[in-house]
Structure 1
Amino acid sequence: MGRQLETRMRFVETLGVLMRTCPLEKVKVSHLCKALGVSRATFYEHFHDIFDVAVWYWDYLMEQSLYRIGADLSCYEAHFQKFKLLRENKEFFDNAFKSDDYNSVCEHGGRAMDRIMIERAVERNGHSLTEEQLLLVEFFKTGAQYMTRDWVRGGMGPSPQVMAELFYSSMPSFLVRLLDGNADSQNR
């Protein structure tokens, strides 16, 4: 693990501890730095604000799973890996998903997936998506975004496999065809 990644992970771990007793939006950079024993300057070398820590960790995990949808993971496998990683980091994301503002993990994840799915679909399609297709992607993304949040906040009851199957079966069929057509995957 590189030095920068190691430092970022220390911030994530410490934020996870602080969120056990204080909501994410109430955690101050100064509290995080004090708990970690580093300066505010060190924090700002790695993150913009306290929300950026949670969002960065989300992106870090999604780059190993969901953000690979249609690249080297099928739609099913990308979702399965996402749910598996979230379950492995249950406490952190249970606390991080309690924040619902524009900078939240939930909102950021939705915006990122919308962009990734549309970019990959357009690339595979060879031309822009129709207005109806864009609307279908928006419906799916919005549902997926809030269902993921609710699954996390609700205790992560259904297994990652069950959740991946539900998400896969809920995706617009044209999107599955476009994204899975080039995915080098073992499932679906």
Structure 2
Amino acid sequence: MNTKQAFAKSLEELLTKKNLDDIQVSEIVLGTSLSRKTFYRHFRDKYDLSSWYFFQFFEESFGRITDNFTWEEALLRYLEIYQEKYNVLKNAYASRDINGLRDYDIQVTRKTYEKYLTFKGVDITSETMQFTIDIASRGGTDMVIEWLHSGMKMDKKKLVALLKRTLPTDILKYID
């Protein structure tokens, strides 16, 4: 396990019990055999670590839409990870900080849509397409977070179908 993974594992353990805003860097460091100085060599703060942690499974799930995964397969894998890490993500998304996970999630979802649409040959530079990507990124992220906070009662396949059905048509026409 590398240094970043050690800090991420410690953060994950803490997030099973408490909100990200209530976790101190000193607690994260205490859960490793590493120093506070080492923590700051790798991360600006706990929110930076939280974003790095989130990015690891995002890339292995929804981030794969430009690989051999369909949009539905990638999103379904993403939701499966949410179920596996329910307590961790519930506490991470509860953050009220501007650097919180929700805003980071929107950013990486936006970049993923941009990468996917560019791969499909779409000119993503127009004001309309930028707005469309923003709507899809914000709306999809917020609906997944709402699903998480409501206890994931809706079947994940149904959620995927609803999210796809409600995508803006300027994106939906490029989804395989």
Q: TM-score range by the shorter chain?
A: 0.7 to 0.9
**Whole-angstrom CA distance in 2 between matches of 1:144 and 1:98:** 17
Offset at 1:21? 4.5
**Whole-angstrom CA distance in 2 between matches of 1:75 and 1:65:** 10
Corresponding position: 1:96 with 2:92: yes
Listed as ranges, the gaps of 5+ residues in structure 1 are 181-188
Offset at 1:85? 0.9
Offset at 1:126? 4.9
> SS of the residue aligned with 1:55?
helix
Aligned residues: 176
Offset at 1:33? 1.0
Query: Counterparts in 2 of 1:3-82, with a 5 A limit?
Result: 3-4=1-2, 7-82=3-78
Offset at 1:161? 1.5
Offset at 1:49? 1.1
Give the structure 1 partner of residue 115 of structure 2: 119
Q: 1:174 to 1:70 in 2, by over 3 A?
A: farther
Question: Which amino acid letter does the alignment assign opposite residue 107 of structure 1?
Answer: D
Give the structure 2 partner of residue 186 of structure 1: none
Q: 2:18·2:91 contact (CA, 8 Å) conserved in 1? A: no
Q: Percent same amino acid at aligned positions? A: 22
Q: 1:98·1:153 contact (CA, 8 Å) conserved in 2? A: no
Give the structure 1 partner of residue 172 of structure 2: 176
**Whole-angstrom CA distance in 2 between matches of 1:73 and 1:98:** 30
Q: 2:76·2:157 contact (CA, 8 Å) conserved in 1? A: yes
**Whole-angstrom CA distance in 2 between matches of 1:137 and 1:112:** 12
> SS of the residue aligned with 2:67?
coil
Offset at 1:74? 1.5
What are the Cα deviations for residues 16-60 of structure 1, in whole angstroms up to 9, with x where unaligned? 332344421232211211233421122223322111222112110
Question: Which amino acid letter does the alignment assign opposite residue 152 of structure 1?
Answer: L
**Whole-angstrom CA distance in 2 between matches of 1:125 and 1:11:** 39
Q: 1:121·1:178 contact (CA, 8 Å) conserved in 2? A: yes
Q: 1:70·1:179 contact (CA, 8 Å) conserved in 2? A: no
Question: Which amino acid letter does the alignment assign opposite residue 162 of structure 1?
Answer: K
Q: Could you state the TM-score of these two structures normalised by the residue count of structure 2?
A: 0.87
> SS of the residue aligned with 1:80?
helix
Q: 1:69·1:179 contact (CA, 8 Å) conserved in 2? A: no
Q: Which has the higher contact order (CA 8 A, sep 6+)?
A: 1
Question: Which amino acid letter does the alignment assign opposite residue 21 of structure 2?
Answer: E
Question: Which amino acid letter does the alignment assign opposite residue 134 of structure 2?
Answer: E
Offset at 1:97? 0.6
Question: Which amino acid letter does the alignment assign opposite residue 138 of structure 2?
Answer: T
Q: 1:138 to 1:146 in 2, by over 3 A?
A: same
**Whole-angstrom CA distance in 2 between matches of 1:68 and 1:19:** 26
